Amino acid sequence: MTLHEFVQQCINGLSLGSTYALLALGLAMLFSIMGLINFAHGELLTIGGYVMWTLLHHDVSWALVVPATLLATTLAAVAMERIAFRPLRGASIETLLVTSFALAFFIQTVLQIGVSAEPEPIAHTGWSDRGYSVGPYTIGLIQIITTAVTFAVLVALVVFLRRTLLGVSIRAAAEDFAVVRLMGIPAGRVVVAAFALSGLLAGIASLLFFASAGSVSPTSGTAPVVAAFIAVVLGGLGNLAGAVVGGYVLGFADQILAAVHSSTILQFHDAVVLAILIGLLLLRPQGLVGRSRGLA
Amino acid sequence: MWWPLRSAAGAALVCAGLVLVAVWGWVRGGDHSKLTHFFINVTIVVALQSFSGNSGILSFGHMALFGTGAYVAGILTLDPALKATYLTSLPHFLQSWNPHWWIALALAAAAGGALALLSGIPILRLDGASAVIAILALLLIADVVFGAWTGVTRGGAGLIGLPPEATMSRALVFALAAVVVARVFKDSKTGLLLRASREDAFSAASVGVAVRAYRVRAWVLSGVIAGAAGALFGWWIGTISPTDFFLAPTFALIVMFIVGGKRTVAGAVVGAALVTLIQEQVRQYEDSSVHLGVLTIHRLTGLTQLVLVLMILLVMYARPEGIVGREEPDETILRFVRGRAA
């Protein structure tokens, strides 16, 4: 691989990693606060995709599609918390995990029966496959938008988490929920805020993902969310900064390996990426950013 | 009494139940296919129980082990004429070799165990939720390999025309063997220390329990049983493709495991019975349409899944420890009898 190809793949990896980072951040937030590995996070992405499909199908302008999608995924996340997870507060990690797995299948099945099991086309936007040449490199407009939006969101999120009471409560709850409650912060508000925030991040990821994916099906959310799981573990489970790092590492690894692989191995690309990441965890079981807390 | 014998005797109650179901099938005659499916489900969920039930690490990866068994046994026993047409990248000696079913099954079990050993050593270095996700990654890797290795697995087109070697009596024998082995393992020293680590891994490690090594042992045993179950599954269903071993069957397996009660072998069997009943009874309605006033639904694809979702949510909210609960039924009976005697 030449240096030129390497840089090109890094550019591609930057936008792919951005999508993973947005999803991973939402997952890491919920895990660190309440020990929930939220399988149904991918279904937030899918719900966003179906909202986009419905609105674009009826020729609604993008100026409305964007807020509507974000609102839908945020509300869906809050509804998930209220209906499925609030009755289980304080339950074991395993109970929460199984419930979220069941919830994911429930949403998928409802979409299968209610809409269709087949993929629905999302109208192409015209601008989403436009590309620019910068020197020897090609950069897609959607890649620029994805990366720029993600960076903006990350900056906004850092400001929110550091400067507002709710944000500080969320960060504190990620460290030690019990102490936060002893400090007189209402637990319910922190959990709902975390869910809403994870829904908002999933909505942004959804807009960026489906603008280039071109179609949405009931199982669209599964592959990206599993990738985001891997990113979360890679960064150090429950570590917010680690989740972002994990997302980008996964994005870069994916794109760079895709360029290295010959066509025969390319079919096994996803398997190779996952195997390498498991290998990385073998060296650092606590994740790339995390501190060691494992069994001796 | 020597402890393995006592454990095996304890499993007798569950085994008697399985034999009764089989006898009922023989007496009634007719379709034994559903009962064979039930016994195969018992075997795979008992495999899951022997790892996840004892170690407390929920595995989303058992379908990788199960699928490996199914593909190994299926490829070995496929008609050599079909092998030559379908499986072009198969090594030459496998093209012509057509082993007896039990040799193929033994190799499938060995393959399940080997994959478990190979994957378990790195994956089980992780702990808790990280281990859960790494095991899920194993499922994804297996799915990619089953789908992309077309010269050996025929990929998404599926391996067609597997010989019907999974008779009801064979499936019954393996289900019984799995139940006894899982119960003896649970009561063994490894099983006991593993269960201690499930309650508190740090405390167990602090008193010298080699938590990781015990987890790997359970994972390998589980892989062997799952590989054997997979072989029977392939022969039972006749056609296998990667989707038979991906998320939807993983979900059904988790439901069996959780609903019955994850801590006991008896619970695994009860869960398998309930889920098989739903799978076999609800599936026939999936093609029907429903009229709800103005709303008409043309095909109820995924109705089975919906019923499974409702079932597991009910258990999660009402009785998280599952139907059977914390004790094997023979332990409950024994405690009851002793309580009366005292």
Q: Give pLDDT tens digits for B50-103.
A: 999 999 999 999 999 999 999 999 999 988 888 888 888 888 788 888 889 999
Q: Which residues of B touch A40 (CB under 8 A)?
A: none
pLDDT at B126 over 70: yes
Pairing of strands B290-292, B295-297: antiparallel
> A222 and B247: CB-CB below 8 Å?
yes
Residue in chain A lying closest to B296 (CA): A114
Query: Is residue A187 in a domain?
Result: yes
Query: Is residue A225 in a domain?
Result: no
Q: How many CA atoms lie within 13 A of A215 on its CB side?
A: 9
- Strand positions, DSSP E, chain B: 290-292, 295-297
Q: So what's the pLDDT on residue A112? A: 87
How many folded domains does chain A comprise?
A: 1
Q: So what's the pLDDT on residue B292? A: 66
**Average confidence (pLDDT) per 10 residues, chain A, 296 residues:** 81 88 91 88 95 90 92 96 88 88 92 85 70 79 87 90 89 84 88 94 92 86 89 84 90 86 78 84 77 48
From the list B132, B144, B301, which residue is nearest A271 (CB)?
Answer: B144
Number of cross-chain residue pairs from A and B with Cβ atoms under 8 Å apart: 132
Q: Which of A67-81, B82-96, B200-214, B321-335 has the lowest mean pLDDT?
A: B82-96
Q: So what's the pLDDT on residue A294? A: 46
Range of the domain at B117: 3-341
B contact residues 123-152, partner A, Cβ 8 Å cutoff:
123, 125-130, 132-134, 136-138, 140-141, 144-145, 148-149
Q: Does A115 touch chain B (CB under 8 A)?
A: no
Instruction: Write a three-state SS string for A23-48.
Output: HHHHHHHHHHHHCCCCCCHHHHHHHH
| CATH number of the domain enclosing B78 | 1.10.3470
Q: How many CA atoms lie within 13 A of B212 on its CB side?
A: 14
- Strand positions, DSSP E, chain A: 120-121, 131-134, 137-140, 215-216
Could you tell me the pLDDT band of residue B116, with boundaries at 50, 70 and 90? Answer: very high
The mean predicted confidence, pLDDT, of chain B is 89
Could you tell me the pLDDT band of residue B317, with boundaries at 50, 70 and 90? Answer: confident
Could you tell me the pLDDT band of residue B319, with boundaries at 50, 70 and 90? Answer: confident
Residue in chain A lying closest to B134 (CA): A278
Residue in chain B lying closest to A263 (CA): B148
How many folded domains does chain B comprise?
A: 1
Range of the domain at A34: 18-218
pLDDT at B168 over 60: yes
> B316 and A88: CB-CB below 8 Å?
yes
> B251 and A91: CB-CB below 8 Å?
no
Q: Does B202 touch chain A (CB under 8 A)?
A: yes
Query: Is residue A280 in a domain?
Result: no
From the list B126, B299, B302, which residue is nearest A281 (CB)?
Answer: B126
B contact residues 52-81, partner A, Cβ 8 Å cutoff:
56, 58, 60
> B125 and A285: CB-CB below 8 Å?
yes
CA distance A12 to A253: 11
Tokens at residue A35, please?
């020990």
